[in-house]
Amino acid sequence: MNLDFNRRLSIAPMLDCTDRHERYFLRLISKNILLYSEMVVSTGLIHCKDTGIFLEHEDCELPAVLQLGGSYPNELAEASKLVERAGFNEVNLNCGCPSDRVQNGNFGACLMKDKNLVADCFKAMQDAVSIPVSIKCRIGVDEFDSWEFFRDFVGTLADAGCRIFIIHARKAWLKGLSPKENREVPPLKYEFVHKLKAEMPHLNISLNGGIKTLDQVEEQLKDLDGVMVGREAYENPWFLRDADERIFGSTDTPVSSRKALLEAYLPYVEKEFAKGTPATILTRHLYGLFTGLPGARKFRQVLSQGAPKTKDAAEMLRRAMDFVVEE
């Protein structure tokens, strides 16, 4: 089992956001950031006639992690085999999503209430594959929000053999809060994550929640193994531009400007559009790229109005770029 690829900075799995097109786009900004897929439900994956819908990716996206949702050990094990065969570097089990859909399937954050089931799921998954299996969880759920509860949950999984944890430093409320509110309302308790790392230094611990700048990333990395960024990376992707140099110590900067980034993305757009991928899917991840710059609003307008009906996605994107004044 290879634990060696760098986890210092990763992009969170986000539904309707971190699809393969977004991962390709982000890889043009950083060669080193660890990329996560959207959550894939294990049942849907193993019964799908075309698993490429969930597993297709470009080699340049790697290193990349595919996140699974589920609560049946045998199904998760079978799905993990498919993930490994597809070429992903790691498979992650979702124990943090609070949405009603996920709760109805008895997985996500509600799994934190059954640590032994999660341990069984982990062991089945890890026994089935040679790539690492990691856990993404919260620090608690509903009224189960004490340090002792959190410590016991992680300790049980560590005893089962899990060594990689990505922890959203908020608890989840399963009733009464929307998924968006669950990302914002419960208070952040970074101290839980730092205390866990201090008590269990042999574990690889990444922190998720509320991180919006590389300065914050660097601060957290003084004591932790990794930081995961979510919505900020989607809504303001250019803030990652210096990540390779500042976080990974690389002097090989992938792109010099936002327009250069889009120029590098255009051949991919042309290829995918020719294969039948809708322009709306290929451009929806770009809306936040020019945030704060003159012409950014017109850029978004051209994409939103033009993508549904364009016959040339790359030409439309070039036209939208012309409205932006980049400093």
State the CATH number of the domain containing residue 172: 3.20.20.70
Q: What is the mean pLDDT of the chain?
A: 94
- Number of domains composing the chain: 2
- Tell me, yes or no, whether 272 and 228 share the same domain: no
CA-to-CA separations, 59 to 55, 128, 135, 212, 277, in angstroms, rounded: 12, 23, 24, 28, 19
Least confident of 137-146, 168-177, 273-282: 168-177
Q: Flag whether 326 is in a domain.
A: no
- Tell me, yes or no, whether 227 and 315 share the same domain: no
- Tell me, yes or no, whether 212 and 279 share the same domain: no
DSSP assignment letter at 58:
-
What's the alpha-carbon Rg for the chain, to the nearest Å? 20
Write 265-274 long-range contacts (CB < 8 A, 24+): 265/24, 265/25, 265/28, 265/317, 266/314, 266/317, 266/318, 268/21, 268/24, 269/313, 269/314, 269/317, 270/313, 270/314, 272/21, 273/312, 273/313, 273/314
Task: Tell if the pTM clears 0.85, that is, is over it.
Answer: yes
Considering only CA atoms, which of 173, 207, 209, 210 is closest in space to residue 193? 207
- Tell me, yes or no, whether 244 and 262 share the same domain: no
Considering only CA atoms, which of 148, 167, 151 is closest in space to residue 159? 151
* 76 vs 149: CA distance, rounded Å: 25
Percent of all residues in the chain with a pLDDT value above 90, rounded to a whole number:
85
Tell me the mean pLDDT in the region 193-210. 98
Does the structure show a pLDDT above 90 at 113? yes
Does the structure show a pLDDT above 50 at 1? no
* 59 vs 62: CA distance, rounded Å: 6
Does the structure show a pLDDT above 80 at 225? yes
Least confident of 11-25, 247-261, 296-310: 247-261
Tell me the mean pLDDT in the region 28-47. 96
Q: Flag whether 327 is in a domain.
A: no
* 151 vs 189: CA distance, rounded Å: 14
Q: Flag whether 179 is in a domain.
A: yes
Catalytic residues: 97
Give the pLDDT of residue 75.
97
Give the pLDDT of residue 101.
67
- Tell me, yes or no, whether 28 and 132 share the same domain: yes
* 314 vs 212: CA distance, rounded Å: 30
Q: Flag whether 92 is in a domain.
A: yes
